[in-house]
Every structure is written in C-alpha cells, then in structure tokens.
Amino acid sequence: MRDVSIIGIGQTKVGEHWTKSLKELATEAILAAIKGARTERVDSLYIGNMLSGVLTGQEHLGALVSDFAGLRGVEAVKIEAACGSGAAALRIGYMAVASELAEFVVVAGVEKMTDRPAEQVTAALAMAADGDFEAQNGLSFVAINALLMRRYMYEYGVRHEEFAPFAINAHQNAVNNPYAMFPFPVSADDFKKAKMIADPVNLLDSSPVCDGAAAAVLCPTEIARRFNDHPVRIRASAIATDSIALHDRRDLLGLEGAAISAAKAYSQAGLGPQDIDLFEVHDAFTIMSVLSLEASGFAERGQGTRLGQEGEIAIGGRIPITTMGGLKARGHPVGATGMYQIVEVVEQLRGQAGKNQVSDARLGMAQNIGGSGATVITTILESYD
Amino acid sequence: MGLLKPNRDVGIVGYGAYVPRYRLPATEVSRVWEGGEGALPIKEKSVPGLDEDVVTMSLEATRNALARARIDPQLIRAVWVGSESHPYAVKPTSTIVAEAIGAVPHTQAADWQFACKAGTEAMQAAIGFVGSGMADYALAVGMDTAQGRPGDALEYTAGAGGAAYLIGPAQESLAIFEGSLSYVTDTPDFWRRQHEHYPEHGSRFTGEPAYFKHIEAAGSELMQAMGVKPSDYTYAVFHQPNVKFPVKAGKDLGFRIDQLKTGLLVNEIGNTYAGAALIGLTAILDEAKPGDRILAVSFGSGAGSDAFSLRVTDKITEWRNGAPSTRQYVARRTVIDYATYARYRKKLVME
C-alpha cells in the first residue's frame, strides 16, 4: 500500500442542465480536474453514477465517458452504490493507486435527472431501497426519511423546527458557492412555512432533484507535488454496509453503516472526531445529517440537533458542515454528490473556499450515504502544505 | 431576418370572442386535491357546458367576427380553425363551421394543430393567403376546451374559449398587420399522444427553455426587425397559461404592466390554449383607440411563437360595437363546484 493524493479537481454547476447531456457534464468536470492536475497521463477512469440506465437509457458509462473525454483506451468502469456512487468511485480509484496497479486515476461522479418527469425520478430513486419490501409497496425516499425523522422526534422528544438550522446553514453557505443550485439564504420562518412533502419532512428538509458532475485526479503522494502545488492526501477511505431495508436494522436510528464506516476511517487515519476540522455530511434530508453526525461521533445519540441549535455546524463552529451548501443547497445529483463533497473538502484544505473558508483547515471528512444508510463511504483528507 | 410581410397590406376586418359561461374557482380544485392548501395560479377558469365543444364555440366567435365585419360569408375563401381539442380525430371542425356560416363550397377548410399556437399559425397563413391576392377574406380561429389531468397543476388553469378573426384587405381593416414573425424549435415541453385524454408536461422545463425562450425571441426579433421598441406600443398580449408567465415575459421584453393588463384575462377565464393570445387581443381591440399599436405573441408547446405587430385604424370605433365585447363574456359567469365540473367535463369514467 502506498499513500495517495488528490492533484486535480473539477465540477460543473449543479442545476437543471436541459442543454447538456450526461457525457457532456461528466466530461466538463473531468477535463477541469485533469487540467488542474497538470498531467496528460491517465491510466484509469472510475465513474460513479446511479440512474443513467433508467433515466437516460444509457449504461456502459466507462467506455462512453472515457471516449468523449478524450481518454479512449484507458481502463474505465461505472461504479454504482445508489447515492453513494460518487465516493464509492473514489474508493475504487484510491485502491487502484494505493495497490500500485495504477499511477494516475480519474474518479468522477455524474448524474442527469431533470430530463424525466418527477414521478419517474421518484420511482428511480426508490431503487436504492429494498425493491421487494420497500419500493414495491410505494415507499419513496422522502417517505423513508419521514419514517426515520418521525421516529427520531418521538424517541428523543425533538421538535421539527429544531432541524431548521441544518437547512439554514446549508443555504447560507451556498450563497458563496458559484456551483450551487440554490445560492440564496432561507430563514427559520421559511422553514416553518415550507410545503410538506411527507410528514414531517418538508421541502426545506429535502435536497433537490438536479444534474451535475464532479471529478478528481489521484496519484501517488510521493510524486504529487510535481503535478499540483497543493496536493491533498487521502488519509482514510472506508466503505461499510448495513441492511438495505429499514425493517431489517438492528437499531433504526443508529445508522450502523455510518458508524462502522466512520470507525474504520478513524482507525485508518489514527484520528478521532475531535481531530476533524470540517465535515461534509450527506444531508439528503435534515434527519440524515443528524443521524450521520451522531453515528460518526460528533454528537451523543439524540443530541445531534443541538449542534445546529448551538451554531456548532456553522463555519467557525466546532464542526462546520455542508460548507459549500451541502446536498440541500449546492444540490444532490445523486451519483455525483460524493465527488462534490470530495471536491469541496479539497477546496477547503487548499485554502481556496473563499468566504466560506474554514480557518486553518487541515483535516476534512466527507461521508457519502447510499440509500437510507445501507452503503456509507467515509473519506478523510489532509492537507500537507 | 425572419420578418414576414405580405405582398399587399392586410388587416383584421372583423373579430369575435367567445367564452363559455361556467366558472370553476381554483379554490375548488385546491379543496378536492390539495386539502385547500394548494397555491392558486389563477382565480377561476371557464368550463364549457354539456352541449359545447370547439365546433359550437368557434361558430359563436365567428358569428361575432362576421357581425363586426359585415361581409358576405360567400367571400370567405378560407375557414381555418386551430385547436388541440378538435371533437374529431378525423373530420374537420372547419367544414362544420364553414357550412354553418354559409361559406361553402368554394373555400379552403382545414384544422390546424400546434398546441396553443394553432390559432395564430392559422392567422399567419390567413395573412399570407389574403396578402398574396389569392383571397380577399380568410377566417382564422383559435379555440379550445382544454383538459387537465385531475389533480395535475394544469387542472387549475385548463379553460375554454377563444377568438375568431376575419383577415382582409388593409383598407377595410380595423387593425392593420405591420409585420409578423415566427420562431420555432423542436422542444418537448408539453404533449399529448394519440388516444390519451390528458397532456403530459415537463414541469419547470415548460418555463425557461420553452415559453420564455420562444415568446421573448419572437417578440424581441419582431421589434428589432421593424425598428420599434416596447414604448412604441400601447398594448401587448402574450400567451397566458397563468398570470405569472405573461407578466414576466412582458417585463423581460421591456413592457410595463399597464401595457399588459387589458389583454390579461387568464385570472378570470383560465388558459384557453389556442385561444389564449387571440382572446387577449380581442379584449384589447374592444378598448383600443385609432393609432394604437399592439404587440401579440402566442406560444405553442413543441414549440414555437408567432408575433404580430398591429396598428389600429379609424374603423375600430365604428365597427367594434357590432357584437358582444370580450369583457361581457368574461363577466357572464355561473360558478360551479368540482362535482358539476366533473360531470360537465366527463371526468367520471370507470374503465
């Protein structure tokens, strides 16, 4: 095993890209990442994506995108792990370089969701749940999160408005992110009045359907400085799984996959949650942020919303989250989200996050979650400038 | 580029509106489908009665146009009806209308289909037909009894109504066409396939890449080609699927709200589809003064826009009183509840 660093990043604006196809979005992000890495050589491309088959009638993305991006001939495959596809691709790319099977690897995440009517997108996203026991019975992803949120509120006596700071924080941070879908602030009053989607999950608890792509270039740390002035090292990379269906979970609110994944990452890095300077959580819904923070050791069980109430999740707080808008306000192009998180952590660790810069950020963590917690990828990045 | 001008000047020699009397308040749709909490895009929409369809409604509007034009129907050399709710899939609406007004047998007759732009497409053709000298008079009708899927966002607005225009020589016209322009692309924002009762749509895709792109391109290119600006117009009317869209399009193009409000009827009668821009224009003609300029821009999904620049003549004041005004039709209303609407629009189907 050898050390691996990120030497280039790229991303498209997140939004409704009606005039750009999936391969155009992916290529835009990939070429930006390669340009940033100052290298012509690419050995492999791993591309995270969840819905290309069902929503755009296109599979075989490895060959499709590598050819379109001018990388014809390289090893290239699609990696799928529902909403965790992006970070799962990073994990595979990391393994390729760490194992010395490849020198220069491009990892990307891409998703194109807005060309289809809402009901088709909702049905497609439900494929991340248990097809036999959840999706087939009409349980959408919002509904799954509504069940979790309702249970959380019941178990811990938490009121719905206590989740508001997570949406407010995400939107506030998106204001300064030129790639964000919703670069505008929202208030506690907006949260209170937001349209109900699946009680108790309202519109501002939820991340949007959108399109986007993000990418990074990896190489061995020992040569990384030749290709980028600010390489960022991958200190830990861990995937863990849990039961795909809620009813099979040993502990409904424990998010065991996240707990295992975070514990593995901390162990690899020899770190703990107290060492992390910022955390890109998978805030597909506000409840998921809270469960992720608790499972990853940033709050005691049932105390996650207090981090929001007390301002600890803001830039300048104890554990800044969703520093560029998160899934809520930057947007959640599902298979690309994990790579957006990585790109944003790299920006923070390079000191290139502009007005949203977390001061003295050295260690950043990202957690990308597939389904309702069935696949969880935790990545810890470190600057070594 | 793109400016359309016929060989001889033509204009509108007669116009007529028609709106069915029944109204379904948007609160009724919200009550049934959203627990009373749905956002309301308009106040109420018009609903045709049990014995009304695009044929009968086109005839009503055409008779109003003839009453204003006072010409012999035998001189009408084209009867063209644009709609997306023709009663027959095969068999023209236009022959029934032509027969009923006495324009047969030496006339063109055909139905036009281009979503909400079908009526103005017929109008462009009528301008060309008369403008070339092949005919002295041609009739263009835009009329619809639009259907929205129960519970869909479009059910709030899918209304019924439209307008008929007799196009003829400029010297006989109450408003003269100064120029027109069409802007068309393949844009799949809204559609209905064969044998389907209700259209489908691409949600927000119907906005920026569809409605706004085409309306604003057609409107701005026409004004540019003619060397005029929004302040040269007294009135402007745009396809009106809801209140928000035409107001935004108007503002984007540089019009003030007071230029738009006369032709803005959607809040009170709903979206009349192929009739929407055209019935807004009849409402303007009801009030316009000689010399006023009017910009009218339609939008049809699929997608395209027709833009027309009109100048009102002295004949308007004398001729417009020959038939009921658009506002009289808007004011003639009987409110019904959702259950009655469901009966009138044949929503109760067990299959």
Q: In this predicted model, what pLDDT tens digit does every residue of A131-161 receive, in sequence order? A: 999 999 999 999 999 999 999 999 999 999 9
Nearest Cα residue in chain A from B37: A195
Amino acid at A102: A
Main-chain phi, psi angles of A367, to 5 degrees: -130, 120
Nearest Cα residue in chain B from A16: B205
Q: Is the interface score ipTM higher than 0.85?
A: no
Per CB-CB distance under 8 Å, the chain A contacts of B204 are 16
| Domain A4-117+210-232 of CATH type 3.90.320.10 | no
Strand partners, B11: B168, B176
Q: Is the pLDDT of residue A69 over 80?
A: yes
Amino acid at A81: A
CB-CB under 8 Å, B205 with A16? yes
Q: Any residues with CB less than 8 A from the CB of A15 and at least 6 apart, and which?
A: A181, A210, A211, A212, A331
Domain edges within chain A = 4-117+210-232, 128-206+235-383
Given A83, A210, A219, A230, which residue is catalytic? A83
Give the CATH number of domain B175-318.
3.40.47.10
How much is the pLDDT for B351? 63
Tens digit of each residue's pLDDT, chain B (351 residues): 799 999 999 999 999 999 999 999 999 999 999 888 778 999 999 999 999 999 999 999 999 999 999 999 999 999 999 999 999 999 999 999 999 999 999 999 999 999 999 999 999 999 999 999 999 999 999 999 999 999 998 999 999 999 999 999 999 999 999 999 999 999 999 999 988 889 988 888 899 999 999 999 999 999 999 999 999 999 999 999 999 999 999 999 999 999 999 999 999 999 999 999 999 999 999 999 999 999 999 999 999 999 999 999 999 998 899 999 999 999 999 999 999 999 999 998 876
- Nearest-Å Rg of the Cα atoms of chain B is 19
Summarize pLDDT for A319-334 with one digit per residue, the tens: 999 999 999 999 999 9
Domain edges within chain B = 9-174+326-344, 175-318
Burial annotation A254-274 (CB, 10 A radius, 16+ → b, else e): bbbbbbbbbbbbbeebebeee
d(CA A256, CA B229): 65
Per CB-CB distance under 8 Å, the chain B contacts of A118 are 203
| CA-based nearest residue to B6, from B124, B140, B173, B138 | B124
CATH number assigned to the domain with residue range B9-174+326-344, chosen from the 4 options 3.40.47.10, 3.30.2350.10, 3.40.50.300, 3.90.1300.10: 3.40.47.10
B249 in Cβ contact with B216 (< 8 Å) = yes
Catalytic residue list contains A83: yes
How much is the pLDDT for B278? 98
Per CB-CB distance under 8 Å, the chain A contacts of B203 are 117-118
Per CB-CB distance under 8 Å, the chain B contacts of A120 are none
Q: In B, what residues contact A, Cβ < 8 A?
A: 200, 202-205, 209
| CA-based nearest residue to B101, from B136, B69, B60, B133 | B60
Given A17, A171, A230, A332, which residue is catalytic? A332
How much is the pLDDT for B204? 84
CB-CB under 8 Å, A117 with B209? no
Per CB-CB distance under 8 Å, the chain B contacts of A117 are 200, 202-203
B283 in Cβ contact with B127 (< 8 Å) = no
Lowest-pLDDT range of A114-128, A176-190, A233-247: A114-128
Distance from CA of B189 to the nearest CA of A (A): 10
| Dihedral sign of CA atoms B87, B90, B94, B100 in order | negative
CB-CB under 8 Å, B209 with A114? no
The class level of CATH for A128-206+235-383 reads alpha beta
| CA-based nearest residue to A113, from A216, A11, A15 | A15
- End-to-end Cα distance, chain A: 22
Q: How many CB pairs under 8 A join A and B?
A: 10
How much is the pLDDT for A385? 77
Distance from CA of B349 to the nearest CA of A (A): 23
Distance from CA of B201 to the nearest CA of A (A): 8
Amino acid at A185: P
The reply to whether A128-206+235-383 shares the fold of A4-117+210-232 is yes
Amino acid at B272: T
How much is the pLDDT for A195? 92
Per CB-CB distance under 8 Å, the chain B contacts of A16 are 204-205
d(CA B219, CA B181): 8
| Residue A130 tokens, joined | 């248990």
3-state DSSP assignment of residue B4: strand
- The rounded percent of chain A whose pLDDT value lies above 70 is 100
Distance from CA of A123 to the nearest CA of B (A): 16
Question: Active-site residue numbers of B?
Answer: 84, 116, 239
CB-CB under 8 Å, B205 with A18? yes
Amino acid at B107: T
CB-CB under 8 Å, A118 with B203? yes
